[in-house]
Amino acid sequence: MFDLMGSTIFFASYGNVFGLSNVAISSFDILAAYVVAVIVSVIVALLLRLPLLPGKPYRYSFDVSAVYPTPIIAVGVLSIFIVLNYTFMYNGLLLAVVIGILSALFVKYLFDFVFPKPLSEDNGEDIDE
| Res 1 pLDDT > 50 | no
| Res 105 pLDDT > 90 | yes
If residue 101 lies in a helix (H) or strand (E), which one and from where to where?
helix 93-109
What pTM was estimated for this model as a whole?
0.73
pLDDT band at 92 (very low <50, low <70, confident <90, very high): confident
**pLDDT, tens only, 28-81:** 888 899 999 999 999 999 999 999 888 777 676 778 889 989 999 999 999 898
* Among the listed residues 37, 19, 41, 3, the one whose alpha carbon sits nearest the alpha carbon of residue 86: 19
CA 39 and chain centroid, separation: 12
* Among the listed residues 30, 29, 34, 12, the one whose alpha carbon sits nearest the alpha carbon of residue 21: 12
Could you give phi then psi for residue 65, rounded to 5 degrees?
-150, 180
* Among the listed residues 70, 47, 65, 67, the one whose alpha carbon sits nearest the alpha carbon of residue 55: 65
| Res 17 pLDDT > 50 | no
Neighbours of 20 (CB within 10 A): 11
* Among the listed residues 89, 85, 88, 92, the one whose alpha carbon sits nearest the alpha carbon of residue 13: 85
The domain segmentation of the chain, as residue ranges, is 20-114
What residues does 119 pair with on adjacent strands? 126
Calpha distance 84→16 (Å, rounded): 7
Assess contact for 41 and 78: CB atoms under 8 A: no
